[in-house]
Amino acid sequence: MLEGKAVVNETDMLQTMQQDAFQLAARALDNFDVTEPTEIAQFIKKEFDDTYGLGWQCIVGTDFGSFVTHSQGCFIYFFVGSLAFLLFRGTTNLAVETNNILPLEAVTA
């Protein structure tokens, strides 16, 4: 299993959300081959959308660059072996869930 094998590069997520990301990565790697990064990413994104609300994005692979804007507390970039996982909640899709949006003055960059 994945326990102890995930190496976090950068995150601002709560520990519980990080553990969910690691557990979902482990399940995805059990269900999909590492040569299927799109399926792995789709699985993790759907599960985070279902658990934490819409707007999650997931990128999985061995060679990619990124420059993203994310909601505070909703970003993790970690590795399992040579496979990188970038999981974040974008800021533009939050308008869909108006009950979960913090007032603008409560959001700090």
Tens digit of pLDDT for each residue in 46-102?
Answer: 999 999 999 999 999 999 988 888 999 999 999 999 999 999 998 754 444 445 544
Using DSSP, state whether 28 is helix, strand or coil.
helix
Q: Tell me how far apart the alpha carbons of residues 66 and 101 are, in angstroms, rounded to a whole number.
A: 25
Contact by Cβ (8 Å): 76, 21: yes
Q: Tell me the two tokens of residue 56.
A: 């999650």
Answering whether pTM is above 0.85, one says no
pLDDT confidence bin for 40, thresholds 50/70/90: very high
The mean pLDDT of 15-29, rounded to a whole number, is 96
Task: Name the pLDDT band for 105 (thresholds 50, 70, 90).
Answer: very low
